[in-house]
Structure 1
């Protein structure tokens, strides 16, 4: 009887451990600089909640460096990291070449999310 109760409890605990819905959407484009024929990555982060702070974007575990530490944001203005976003807002950051994104991690005020590409 104890075994059955433990089994039911374990199943209930496993069912409760679902992944959280991400609070951001990550889109990555691998591009090539036409002037010097050098690949680089462009990462866009979209807010899916009313208020979130983007603290850092890491491409290929830090092996691709930020072109500069500023986001291209609303009204084509430049804003330093960290950047607070409201629902629907987006920021885009380029990473210097040679860089082709295999993994992107975004560190936010609510945790980290990552996305891998093949």
Structure 2
């Protein structure tokens, strides 16, 4: 009986250790505004699945301010995210400075993932 209980516990622990691969690819760029010499972050999220909604992108645990507003003259003031994207499509969002990315969290309708940078 003890053997069966230990076997069930071992299987449960092994199942919990399985890290799911993200449905997105994230590229993060630390940049500097050439006019005012201020560091900022640009994050590009690409879809690796047929359909996914990018609900939020958070840099440095929300200490970097997202520049989510599109130019009002071009898209009637629509926001860049949330946004549905399909396989291979990309959404890019900038974060105002001063900011250098140490951690980027992406929230989607299929889960959340986090990337840390040294």
RMSD of the alignment, in Å? 1.5
Any unmatched runs of 5+ in structure 1? 71-76
Any unmatched runs of 5+ in structure 2? none
How big is the shift at 1:9? 1.1
Of 6-15 and 95-104, more deviation after overlay is shown by: 6-15
SS state of the match for residue 66, structure 1?
Answer: strand
Matched, 1:4 2:10: no
Correspondence 1:29-44 to 2 at 5 A: 29-44=29-44
How big is the shift at 1:28? 0.4
> After TM superposition, which residue ranges in structure 1, 4 or more long, deviate above 2 angstroms?
67-70, 77-80
Correspondence 1:1-118 to 2 at 5 A: 2-17=1-16, 18-70=18-70, 80=79, 81-118=81-118
TM-score under structure 2 length normalisation: 0.86
Aligned length: 111
TM-score under structure 1 length normalisation: 0.86
